[in-house]
Amino acid sequence: MDAGVRLLGPPAVRVDDAWVPLRPTKAHALFAYLAYRGAPVRRAELAALLWPDADAEHAFADVRQVLRSLWREPIGGLLGRDRGAV
């Protein structure tokens, strides 16, 4: 799968030969953060980053929900699936 990420200007991800725009959602913000990091990030770190005021149980549930929404999109194939990290 040929992919690329554009974060300057209108954010988008290239999947094969098509650019998929990133909307201003937490899911796409998470995707951009993961692309920027370029390495697996622990789910606990993502929960604390995106939901700093939530208790751990709710923050982890929100991370799972956001990841599920990303995996349903064309860009979801670019993310790895691991219980501990993304």
pLDDT digits (tens, 9 = 90+) for 14-41: 888 888 888 878 888 888 888 888 888 9
The pLDDT of residue 3:
61
The pTM for the full model equals 0.75
C-alpha torsion angle, residues 32, 23, 66, 50 (rounded to 10): 60
**How big is the CA angle at 46 (ends 65 and 50), to the nearest 5 degrees?**
75
What distance in Å separates the CA atoms of residue 33 and residue 18, rounded to the nearest whole number?
21
Q: Between these two residues, 66 and 74, which has the higher pLDDT value?
A: 66
pLDDT at 64 over 60: yes
| 9 Rama class: left (phi>0) / alpha (psi -120 to 50) / beta | left
C-alpha–C-alpha distance, residues 69 and 10, integer Å: 21
Mean per-residue pLDDT, 59-85: 86
- Domain range list for the chain: 23-86
4-16 tens-digit pLDDT:
888 788 888 888 8
The whole-number pLDDT of residue 45 equals 93
